[in-house]
Chains A and B, each alone.
Chain A
Amino acid sequence: MGNKQTIFTSQQLDAYQDCTYFTRKEILRLFHRYRDLAPQLVPLDYTNQPEVRLPYELIGSMPELKDNPFRQRIAEVFSEDGEGNMTLDDFLDMFSVLSEMAPRDLKAYYAFKIYDFNNDDFICKSDLEKTLNKLTRNELTEDEVRMVCEKVIDEADLDNDGRLSLEDFQHMIVRAPDFLR
């Protein structure tokens, strides 16, 4: 118990609890996961909110992300600086969104961000190509990739502008119950 009090103040924990889908215990556990990545960098006292950022190399080496083809994108999307270097807040945020408690809309929003490689708020063909290559690791020929891209945009693009907006994406995701389960 005493240990718990020194890491965060009660207000901090309350704030975390209200802003993420975690309980106190889980927040503390996540903090320790975060700290285990680099014990020399992360202090045990977070009451004065130190500016600590873990580099992407450490985040990406977590077993949950290690083999995920989208790990870099995930880290980038959730990090404040957009380069995958994460503060504790970013870290908690990431796990909160990935947790099973998070609603589908929230997940869809971040999934959209993840698939939107060039950050232009639309999933266009180049994004799709990257997604496909990451998914299958260059197993498809170029022609096939192009076909798949065309077909995907054809299927999911509801307002016929040749790219997928967030709205299109959400609409499509609703029809896929297996999405991010």
Chain B
Amino acid sequence: MAGRVNFYSDLVTDIESPADEDGVHDSFSQLIDDLNDDLQPDFHDVIEMTSLDPEEESRDDIMDLEGPAYHRSDSEVPQQTDHLIGDRWSSDTLKVLSSMPSRTIGRSRGAIISQYYNRTMQLRRRRQSRPSIQHFPRSARPSIRGYRVETDGDDFEQEEDNKRERLVNNLQNLSANDRVRMLRAMPLSLAEKKELRMLVLNKAEHSLSQSQIPCCSQLKYYIIIALRHGWYGWMSFLSSLQLWQTALKCVGGRFGTGVLSYFVFLRTLLFFNIFLFLVTGLFLVVPQAVLPDPDQNTSVRSTWGLEVLTGAGYFSDSLLYYGYYSNHTLQRNRSCSESMSPCGSGLSYNMPLFYFFTIGAVFFVTCIILVYSMSKSFGQSFCIDKSKGLLAIKVFSSWDFKVSKKSSVRLQRANIGTQLKELVAEVNREELKSPVFQRLWRLFIHMLAWLFCLGSTVGCMLAVYYFSEHMHNKDVKTRSGSPSNTSSSDSLLLKEASLLAVPVVVSSINLLLPGFFNAVAWMEEYDSPSVLNYVSISRNLLLKVSVLGVLCYHWLGRVASKPESLGLQCWESFVGQELYRFLVMDFIFMLLDTFFGEFLWRLFSQKALKRKRKPVFDIARNVLELIYGQTLAWLGVLFSPLLPVVQIIKLLFLFYMKKVSLMMNCQASGKPWRASQMTTIFITLLCFPSFLGAAVCVTYTMWTMKPSDGCGPFRGLRTMFQAGKRWVQQLAEVNPKLSWLVSAHTYLVENPFFLFLCAGIFLIVIYFHSQVVDGQRKIIELLQEQIENEGEDKKFLITRLQDIHERKRVVSPRRVRGASEPFLRMWSRMNRLDALLRSTLVETTLMNHMMKIRAPDGQISHTQGF
């Protein structure tokens, strides 16, 4: 036994876990100490009980000893338990078993109270401002006494009162915040909680009235109360502010967490765009709008309705695009009189500099937020990977409690049934090997399918490439052919419409190809739905990435390198317009898809085909479309600072439209969706190809492309990036003391080494983080092994205990005391072992908890049902 204890402590000291382990350690050693102290009297109790009526093996007796059941009135209870375990163990063994610490937790009110009593104790120890534990009388210190359910009824009542008393004492000594939190988390009924609270408050008032309250502290009291009321009001206000709460509840209730994750993702994107818009709006758009350029010639051309789609014409010389922004320091020259020289500098606004840094900062902050949320959701889904295929978890936690619609409930039921069946089948048959021919055939089919998909993707890529080239060349020709702008209005309209050709082609590819992929996947007949999901996600992703890659090449390689060939004054504005068009077209195609693909298809299948099924909401495809749109928005921020507004409007529309369409047309998906895992994948996809790609493109543009000479904040510079350098040089000229800034700038910003260093540090931090998580996982594995070992030991000891009892009964029922010597030893071992097991479990649970990043306290509350 001692060896085991040592091993355990060795293990614990070896583990350098960052959590507050002291609590565990303390309580553990205390546990052992107290065990040794308390063991004897308690044990005698048990033995006495045994010696009184050793022959009487009535089941009711056992059940009484098993501690007070939660519902005593239920008379059926004892019989059932009895059948299950009564055959194996004698009543004495059962008595011992029933009073072991691990069995008594959470069983009765008394046990709960004492458990929470211990927790309050821990909390108090952690808050150092409170008096330390040494100052309490011994009886008030945490001990394992509370863990044991007393064997006597009368004793029990008394003991419970005692415990309650102590708990109240403890609660009273906690700060108000902690008290409320403790109280809320107690698994007691509300009436009991209220009673506890009353007791605590009465006590507090009592002690307050005993010590004379000075006037000012009374005032303080009132102020605190008022503040608390204010806080509650604020909380409920905040909860009413949370966007789309009811709508999300509604969706979650009808379609489960899978579809809900789509809408939550949409909301996340909306917040990203609002952030983007706020920053660019505040630092770029507002200053430019308030202090407009004097020499800006706004020639209002005739407007067509088409301009909303193309973003050209009237819009091209507006705040929407890069070209409108001025390249010098904005000043309010009107209010600046000669005599007041500092006013100019007070209101001056260096546009190029701010343009440069705003975009940089936006990308940087977005990157940090993305990486943070990614790591957070990784932490959450980390646990799932381990628990994959665990039947227990399937049984207990697969029910989606959000679902409350009847048909969805039925579907979910069938779904869980099939999954369980599959799992059972898996357990049953040991990998029933299919014949070689069949496997080869399947392999062939998969290869063929991938070939189809890759081929069509490459085909689309080439199509976009050549089509954009064709349009480009046509544009160049018309420019060179008729330099005069005196064409008729019809041809102008045609020209504007032709701008839409490429976006329409790309959007229709995005619309049609996923359908093709789905058909191919249907042909493949994947066994597991999760594999199907991954395959379809990866295919769609491949398509979108390659199309976007081609487009980026088109913009940056063809348009930006030779803007003169197109007769463009401002290629940045042109690219911005293109992105605007793509975004709008994407939106329109989504509308069409929703209308035709969901609404009409539902009508068709229900009316014409007389099928009862409704179409299923394809989460993967819809999410990928969102990601695609967001990539466009990120790409376009540099060229068109107001593009996030378009994206915000689009997302708002999309939310309501998708919701209505979902409610009307769709049914819950038959595929099982692990919501948290999917969220991780979505966020990862958003971060990795989407954001990273956009960021690389934007950085490339800023670092190496030559901005156009005729427009924009960076006109006359070799690269956009030089804006910062110029500013630093100006600063140094004005103020020689700042000349170090120039060198710092050259070394830090221009030298790629520094950038590499930053990236390296970033990667190292991520690496360390993942290493820590990995280490924690290893510790958890170790501890789990430990638990298993101890469980084996316990089983062994229980058998031994049973043996001794049997022998004792055979030898002599009268001489219990003499025979109790080995039993005593056994009992103490058992108890220690149980305590060990418990603390190991606590440790493991703690580690498991540490691995998830938990939501901050004080979140906005709302009910599941609302």
B676 proximity list for chain A (CB < 8 A): 177-178, 181
New A-B contacts (14) at CB < 8 Å, excluding given A21-B184, A80-B189, A177-B852: A21-B861, A26-B861, A89-B189, A90-B189, A95-B865, A99-B863, A102-B184, A136-B413, A140-B417, A159-B102, A161-B85, A177-B380, A178-B675, A178-B676
Closest CB-CB distance, B469 to chain A, in whole Å?
49
Q: Looking at the complex, which one of B187, B197, B788, B852 makes contact with A106 (CB distance below 8 Å)?
A: B187
Q: What residue in chain B is nearest A112 (Cβ atoms)?
A: B106
Q: Looking at the complex, which one of A18, A175, A177 makes contact with B197 (CB distance below 8 Å)?
A: A18
A159 engages B420 (CB within 8 Å): no
B76 proximity list for chain A (CB < 8 A): 118
What would 19 A/B residue contacts be, using CB atoms closer than 8 Å? Answer: A15-B194, A19-B197, A66-B406, A70-B399, A98-B401, A99-B862, A102-B184, A119-B77, A121-B107, A124-B84, A128-B395, A139-B414, A148-B395, A158-B787, A159-B794, A170-B845, A176-B397, A178-B398, A181-B676
A173 engages B397 (CB within 8 Å): yes
Does A39 touch B at the CB level, under 8 Å? no
Q: Looking at the complex, which one of A26, A159, A179 makes contact with B236 (CB distance below 8 Å)?
A: A26
B863 engages A120 (CB within 8 Å): no
Closest CB-CB distance, A148 to chain B, in whole Å?
6
B848 engages A175 (CB within 8 Å): yes
A24 engages B236 (CB within 8 Å): yes
A176 engages B864 (CB within 8 Å): no
- Interface segment, B150-158, B384-392, B646-654? B384-392
B197 proximity list for chain A (CB < 8 A): 15, 18-19
* Bound Cα distance from A63 to B74, whole angstroms: 29
B85 engages A167 (CB within 8 Å): no
Interface residues of B (CB under 8 A from A): 69-71, 73-74, 76-77, 80-81, 84-85, 97, 102-103, 105-107, 179-180, 183-185, 187, 189-191, 193-194, 197-198, 232, 235-236, 239, 257, 380-381, 383-384, 386-387, 390-393, 395-399, 401-406, 409, 413-414, 416-417, 420-421, 423-424, 427-428, 674-676, 787-788, 790-792, 794-795, 837-838, 841, 844-845, 848-849, 852, 859, 861-866
B397 engages A174 (CB within 8 Å): no
- Interface segment, A1-9, A40-48, A149-157? A149-157
Q: Looking at the complex, which one of B391, B795, B838, B861 makes contact with A152 (CB distance below 8 Å)?
A: B391
A70 proximity list for chain B (CB < 8 A): 399
Q: Looking at the complex, which one of A99, A113, A126, A175 makes contact with B387 (CB distance below 8 Å)?
A: A175
* Bound Cα distance from A22 to B239, whole angstroms: 11
A171 engages B845 (CB within 8 Å): yes
A89 engages B190 (CB within 8 Å): yes
* Bound Cα distance from A174 to B420, whole angstroms: 21
Does A17 touch B at the CB level, under 8 Å? yes
* Bound Cα distance from A67 to B317, whole angstroms: 58
Q: Which 4 A-B pairs have the closest CB atoms?
A: A64-B865, A139-B417, A136-B417, A101-B861
A172 engages B77 (CB within 8 Å): no
A82 engages B73 (CB within 8 Å): yes
A100 proximity list for chain B (CB < 8 A): 859, 861-864
Question: Mask for A74-89, Cβ within 8 A of B = 1, else 0?
Answer: 0000101010000101
Does A20 touch B at the CB level, under 8 Å? yes
Does A54 touch B at the CB level, under 8 Å? no
A171 proximity list for chain B (CB < 8 A): 841, 844-845, 848
* Bound Cα distance from A102 to B862, whole angstroms: 10
Does A69 touch B at the CB level, under 8 Å? yes
Closest CB-CB distance, A94 to chain B, in whole Å?
9
B236 engages A178 (CB within 8 Å): no
* Bound Cα distance from A48 to B163, whole angstroms: 30
B428 engages A159 (CB within 8 Å): no
B791 engages A147 (CB within 8 Å): no
Q: B-side binding surface: helix, strand, loop or mixed?
A: helix
Q: What residue in chain A is nearest B191 (Cβ atoms)?
A: A89
* Bound Cα distance from A96 to B189, whole angstroms: 11
B397 engages A179 (CB within 8 Å): yes
A175 engages B421 (CB within 8 Å): no
Given contacts A118-B77, A135-B395, A148-B391, contact A64 B417 (CB under 8 A): no
Closest CB-CB distance, A146 to chain B, in whole Å?
10
A147 proximity list for chain B (CB < 8 A): 424, 427-428
B399 engages A155 (CB within 8 Å): no
A163 engages B395 (CB within 8 Å): no
B107 proximity list for chain A (CB < 8 A): 121, 166
B423 proximity list for chain A (CB < 8 A): 148
Closest CB-CB distance, A125 to chain B, in whole Å?
7
B841 proximity list for chain A (CB < 8 A): 158, 167, 171
Given contacts A158-B791, A175-B387, contact A167 B105 (CB under 8 A): yes
Q: What residue in chain A is nearest B406 (Cβ atoms)?
A: A67
A68 engages B401 (CB within 8 Å): yes
Does A57 touch B at the CB level, under 8 Å? no
Question: Mask for A91-113, Cβ within 8 A of B = 1, else 0?
Answer: 01101101111110110011111
B392 engages A98 (CB within 8 Å): no
B865 proximity list for chain A (CB < 8 A): 62-64, 95, 98
A69 engages B848 (CB within 8 Å): no
Does A38 touch B at the CB level, under 8 Å? no
A163 proximity list for chain B (CB < 8 A): 84-85
Q: What residue in chain A is nearest B861 (Cβ atoms)?
A: A101
B416 proximity list for chain A (CB < 8 A): 135-136
* Bound Cα distance from A37 to B837, whole angstroms: 47
A95 engages B396 (CB within 8 Å): no
* Bound Cα distance from A69 to B381, whole angstroms: 27
Q: What residue in chain B is nearest A159 (Cβ atoms)?
A: B791
Closest CB-CB distance, B781 to chain A, in whole Å?
12
Given contacts A18-B180, A176-B383, contact A105 B185 (CB under 8 A): yes
* Bound Cα distance from A162 to B391, whole angstroms: 16
* Bound Cα distance from A37 to B416, whole angstroms: 32
Closest CB-CB distance, A151 to chain B, in whole Å?
5
Closest CB-CB distance, B66 to chain A, in whole Å?
8
Q: What residue in chain A is nearest B225 (Cβ atoms)?
A: A14
Q: What residue in chain A is nearest B780 (Cβ atoms)?
A: A175
Closest CB-CB distance, B229 to chain A, in whole Å?
9
A159 proximity list for chain B (CB < 8 A): 102, 790-791, 794, 837
A101 proximity list for chain B (CB < 8 A): 859, 861-862
* Bound Cα distance from A45 to B416, whole angstroms: 45
* Bound Cα distance from A147 to B422, whole angstroms: 12
Given contacts A30-B863, A119-B77, contact A67 B417 (CB under 8 A): no
B102 engages A176 (CB within 8 Å): no
Closest CB-CB distance, B253 to chain A, in whole Å?
8
Does A52 touch B at the CB level, under 8 Å? no
* Bound Cα distance from A110 to B841, whole angstroms: 20
Does A72 touch B at the CB level, under 8 Å? no
B404 engages A109 (CB within 8 Å): no
* Bound Cα distance from A154 to B787, whole angstroms: 14
Q: What residue in chain B is nearest A79 (Cβ atoms)?
A: B189
* Bound Cα distance from A112 to B397, whole angstroms: 11
A90 proximity list for chain B (CB < 8 A): 189-190
* Bound Cα distance from A139 to B380, whole angstroms: 32
A181 proximity list for chain B (CB < 8 A): 257, 401-402, 675-676
B184 engages A119 (CB within 8 Å): no
Q: What residue in chain A is nearest B838 (Cβ atoms)?
A: A167
B794 proximity list for chain A (CB < 8 A): 159-160
Q: What residue in chain B is nearest A118 (Cβ atoms)?
A: B80
* Bound Cα distance from A118 to B80, whole angstroms: 8
* Bound Cα distance from A124 to B85, whole angstroms: 10
B790 proximity list for chain A (CB < 8 A): 159
* Bound Cα distance from A100 to B248, whole angstroms: 13
* Bound Cα distance from A55 to B197, whole angstroms: 28
A69 proximity list for chain B (CB < 8 A): 399, 409, 413
A58 proximity list for chain B (CB < 8 A): none
Closest CB-CB distance, B575 to chain A, in whole Å?
42
Q: Looking at the complex, which one of B396, B675, B795 makes contact with A131 (CB distance below 8 Å)?
A: B396
B848 engages A93 (CB within 8 Å): no
Given contacts A111-B396, A131-B396, A135-B413, contact A166 B106 (CB under 8 A): yes
Q: Looking at the complex, which one of B73, B393, B401, B838 makes contact with A172 (CB distance below 8 Å)?
A: B393
Closest CB-CB distance, B669 to chain A, in whole Å?
16
